[in-house]
Structure 1
């Protein structure tokens, strides 16, 4: 994540969830990027999740 986030070639939305995994013998890799509102909590701090969701919601 330390190299992915500051990389200007990678577009990351403000309210997004990045799934990562480990490739045996190579290290970590990004699996996918999804909208925050479609992600599960998976042991995350619910207060932090609510903060991300706040950015994902646009008032109509």
Structure 2
């Protein structure tokens, strides 16, 4: 997913392909709401609020529209 697509709407619902490091908490896939977009250096990150699990950071390429 492109950052420009996420910037069009606030609090957009997304599906997340969960990285291996979080799969024990969230499973292989999760869905949630975009909270904010930010950058660490040249790398973009998306903060997503996942139901029942709180807020987690994901890369934009791990997201798709719900």
Give the TM-score taking structure 1 as reference length: 0.26
Considering Cα pairs closer than 8 Å and 6+ residues apart, tell me whether 1 or 2 has the greater RCO: 2
Larger Rg: 1
Give the TM-score taking structure 2 as reference length: 0.25
Q: Which has the higher strand share?
A: 2
